[in-house]
Every structure is written in C-alpha cells, then in structure tokens.
Chains A and B, each alone.
Chain A
Amino acid sequence: MKIPTGVPGLDRMLHGGLIPNRPYIVSGPLGSGKTTMIMQFLLEGIAGGERALIVALDEPPNEIRANMRNFRRDIGDIDVLDANSDIRRFEPTPIVEISDEQEPVRMRDIPERIRKTPEVESHEVTVHSLQPLLKSLLRKRQYARIAIDSMTGLRYFCMREFEEDVSTQSFMRFLTEEKVTALLAVETAGELDVPPESFLSRGEIRLHRVRDDSGIRRFVSIEKYKGSAHEEMIHPMEVTQQGVVIHGLPPPPP
C-alpha cells in the first residue's frame, strides 16, 4: 500500500513509506536538507517508471540544476515548472499570468543561464493561476509525484497576505482531490515555529539543524503521520553526495 520515499531510513521511520495520493510536508530551517530530500523523493518515482514534477518557487531552475551537479544522481528526467515571478514592473505593462504560457521542462533541457524578464511584459505567479495550471498538468501528464519547493515561497510571494491561511488551505485541499503524492517544502523560523501547513498536511517530516562550535548537526523526526504508526525518536541525519542519510535506526522488524 505504501510507497517508498527514496530516502534510505526514512521509509523505516515511516513504517514502510508514505500512504500514496496525499499531501505531506517536509519542514525545517533554511539549509537543513529539504530540497535534497525532495529530489530523492522525485527520483524514486522516476526509478519506478512514474512521472515526477518539481514546482520551483525559491530558486531559478538553472541554479537547481547546477547545484545538483554535486549530487551523484542524474536528475535529468524530473520535470520542472519555473514558478519564479519576474521582476515586477512599476509602469503599467501587460502582466502575463503563469498559466498562460509556462510549461514544465525536463531538468536536462534547462538552459545554463537564468531566464530573463522580457522587456515588454512580466510573468506574475499567483496561487490563483498556478492552481488551475497544475490541475491541467496533473491530468495531461499523469504525474504520480509532485513537489513544491517551497510552500513558504508560494505563501510569501503568490498569495495576498490577508488571505494567506485560506489560500493555503484551499491549495492543500486541491492537492488532496487531485490524487497525487505531494511533498511540500516548508521553511521554519526556529524550533518552536508551527507553520500553517502542519495542520493541513497528512504528515510532517521535520528536519532539525543545530549549530554548535563543532559544526552543524542535523536531525530528522516524524511529527505527524495520519493513518499510520511511525518512529517516535529523533534521528541524526547527514546530507551527503548520495543524498540524505539517516543514522541510528533500530534493526528492521523480523
């Protein structure tokens, strides 16, 4: 029933993997390893012959591709939808909604250099245009796995501040109805921060990052997992060139 996450050790913590067709979040502070974990999740789908899509909101796709060169896995088959808004214009110029022309591109076909804002118009990404676009893409291309990197970017830059909670709720509801396994990256500002997505997701994988004078130490915990038992302990983890590796797991059940 459950599907593998692509992270060795995480499946064990989740007692077998994720229940498919539901939205989950991977939360943690900046630099805790969320994007790497997401890539592993998508690659696992590709390896199983599925189609996988990442919606890039915080970083331009060309940089994601360049950064992943250190990572010893080929991410070329992952589709990427560039949902970074253009530079805003302050003069009245035509605003092009993302849904009008943006299409996902295979990672391997992403150009080396950043896409430039055109001189005469501006792409603007709002949740109101992204949602219908994703809806038609999910139907047309039959994605089994989708990742939003990050949900915080979507909330900060694509939603009006006063309707943030309602829009977030409606977006997560939309993902549930679409029957796709979704992993949403959520940035947290400190250990005590509980982002709104925590309440709405079916599960939360929390990444912790502790800085002390010996360096940065990373940990992972399962904060919530609806419909399944899960590991209760916090485990140390590492971000390596092979991806996220989780340590200190109990021996597998007989």
Chain B
Amino acid sequence: MERVSTGVDGLDKMLRGGLPPGRPYILNGPLGSGKSILGSQFLVDGLRRGEACLLVALDEPPHEIKANMAAFGWNLDSLTALDATPDIKSHKKKNVIDVGTTLDVRRMDKVQDVRKSTQLRTMEVTIHSVQKMIKQSSRDLVERTKAHYSRIVIDSMTALKRFSLRGEDARVLVQSFMRFLSELEVTTLLVSSPITPGVLESEFLLSRGEIFLHKWIDGNTMRRAISIERMRGTEFDERLRPMTIGPQGMTVFPNATVTARGELTRSIDRPFLESQAAEEVNARVDDVLASVEAVRRVGGQTGEAEAALLRGVVALNRKRFEEAVRHLVTAKTRLTEEMRLHDAARRAGAKKA
C-alpha cells in the first residue's frame, strides 16, 4: 500500500512509512500538545511536494495561523485556507447568513488581517456550509489545474461540532461529513479532543486511525510524547515515543523510549480523561481572567463577561466541562469585542488629535 508522509520523519517510521492514503484520521491531545503544529507540518510537507492542500480553520483565524507558523520558518503562501471562524455573535437583530453563501477560500498569501464581523449581518458556520465550501473549492481546483486536493486539515472538528451543530441530527451530520471526506479520497487530519469523558464521539467511530499527543509536567519541565492509538490497514509502532517541538517544528524519536508518570498509564481511564478536561477548562479560565484584567486596565466593560466566567466556573465545579467551555468562550468573545471597540475608539481619537 502506498503511504502519505505526515511531514514528521519519526512519526512516518512509527507508521511504517506514513498514513494509508485517502482516509480521515483523528489528531487528539490536550490543549497545547502540538495538534495544530503537526497539522501544519503535514500540510507544509504536501506543499513542498507540489500537492494541493486545504486548511479549514475554525479555532484560530488564518492570519494568526500564518503568523504562528512563520515562527517555524514555514511558508504557507500556497496553502488554500477556508476561514470558518464564526463572527462575533450579535445580540441585536441582524440578518444571519450562512458562511457558504459569502465566504470564499483564499490562498494564504492573500490573507492579511482578521476578517471583521460586519455591522449588518452575522456569519454562521454550519457543518453543511463547510462541506459545501470544500466541495466548491475542490471543483474549482479541478477546473483550474485538473488536480484534486491531496491533504486537508480540519482545525478543529471539536469547534465545528460545538459551534456548528444543533439539534438531534448531530451524529448523522457528522457521519455524512466523514462520508463526504472519504469520497473525496483525500487524506484528512481532523483535530479533535473529546472533552466529555465516557462518550464515544461519532468522528472517532468513523475515523480510520488516531494519533495522540501527550504532554505532562515532570518536576519542572514540560515533557512531550506521541503515540499511535490505532491505525487501520497497517501494522504500527504501539509504543509511546518522545517528541519535541523546537524551532524546526515537531520531531519524533522513534528509537527512544519514554518513562511516563503514572497518569499516562491510566490514560484510557475516566479519572485521567477528567483531569485532562479539567486542565483544558482551567487553562481557558486563566486566559479569560487575563483578558478581564486587560479590559479593565483600559477602562472597558467586563460585567457580562464576568457573569459568563462565573457560570463557566460553576459548570467546571460540577464537572460539566462542555458547558463550562461554552460559557468561557462567550466570556472571551465578549472581552475580545470590548478590546476591539476600545482600540477602534483610540485610533479614531488619535486621528482627530
């Protein structure tokens, strides 16, 4: 069977040559474990081979990804990006429009700054609209160059599901989306970290493999490791291997071994997953707290955000992680908006002066 390189030599060795092509895979791991870095490295590898690659950005806007990846010296200019980050939710009545009707995919070299939420309408992202965009974009690509996308990264599936799926059809919509990716016969990495332990997410059930990025504190150093949890159609290295994230990106050491702390041994157990989810939510709480401070310093309003933060912390206490994240995202959005208004006012003031 031919293989697709992941862009990380050591990981390719663990996979006995790379990923079986044309299938969707899960990229899992806690916050800050390097999922987006591995995703980008996978895309950069494709670009270097002259393949057509697509990034569907839902967590971070493309201009931020571009800036972050420039730090590794990677040039993403020829990458096609679909900015599917949702707009700031308007609380006034506006026309809601589907992302599929207005947004277009763009090459990374055309991406400059954050797309501003417009005053008149709010863009909503649905799984269906993302699917439509990918389809349209691959059709255009075939018309222009006769080539098909060979690699797609969805960053992240967690965001796509959390913000874009409503109602009881969620599982069926995920099934349809995974089927869509399978029929494209494109090698896809879906960044997904389940936040509620004990629940099997549909995309995990339908994916053909899972790569897990581990990170933990050992004394006072951060340690990282990578493992292949499962992979259809190929034998693979089942051991945990050390991994580092350095100036050149991710490096995996396929011949070295890791001695992990006890928690890792229990990594399939509920307590571990719970502590992992709690860690992620805690990181978000810290982030929101820092933003509250920042907004206060410039004299902005933090009331609504703080109320959301409080609801988030309560949910965290009750171990309702998903709900906690929802509140914290609301708080963060409110604070970002407040900061933006402040910056705009300041710029206008400066111009007048």
Contact = CB atoms under 8 A, between A and B. Distances in A.
Contacts of B234: 70
B202 interface: yes
B233 A70 contact: yes
Contacts of B268: 29, 190-191, 209-211
A49 interface: no
A23 B180 CA distance: 32
A60 B22 CA distance: 12
Contacts of A150: 205
B232 interface: yes
Given A30-B204, A63-B232, A156-B205, A161 B23 contact: no
B206 A87 contact: no
B270 A213 contact: no
Interface string B257-282: 11110001101111001000000000
Given A67-B232, A70-B233, A85 B176 contact: yes
A191 B267 CA distance: 12
B172 A59 contact: no
B239 A157 contact: no
Contacts of B204: 30
A74 B344 CA distance: 68
A242 B178 CA distance: 30
Interface string B232-272: 11110011100000000000000001111000110111100
A29 B202 CA distance: 13
Interface stretch (A12-20, A37-45, A111-119, A226-234): A111-119
Given A69-B1, A189-B198, A162 B205 contact: no
Interface residues of B, number: 48
Interface in B215-235: 227, 229-235
Interface in B24-68: none
Nearest to A216: B238
A161 B179 contact: no
Given A114-B185, A213-B257, A190 B269 contact: yes
B199 A66 contact: no
Given A161-B168, A213-B258, A190 B270 contact: yes
Contacts of B185: 113-114
B128 A213 contact: no
B210 A30 contact: yes
Contacts of A84: 179
B175 interface: yes
A56 B21 CA distance: 20
Interface of A (DSSP majority class): loop
A153 interface: yes
Interface string A214-248: 11100000000000000000000000000000000
A187 B179 CA distance: 19
Q: Size band of the A side of the interface?
A: 35 or more
Contacts of A153: 205-206
Contacts of A90: 128
B230 A31 contact: yes
A157 B269 contact: no
A88 interface: yes
A87 B231 CA distance: 24
Contacts of A212: 260, 264-265
Interface string A1-44: 00000000000000000000000000001110000000000000
A86 interface: yes
A31 B23 CA distance: 16
A201 interface: no
Interface of A: 29-31, 58-60, 63, 66-67, 69-70, 84-88, 90, 113-114, 116-117, 150, 152-153, 156-157, 160-162, 187-193, 209-216
26 contacts: A30-B210, A30-B230, A66-B20, A67-B232, A69-B233, A70-B233, A70-B235, A84-B179, A85-B176, A85-B179, A86-B176, A87-B131, A88-B172, A114-B185, A152-B205, A156-B171, A157-B175, A157-B202, A161-B171, A187-B200, A189-B198, A211-B265, A211-B268, A213-B260, A213-B265, A215-B239
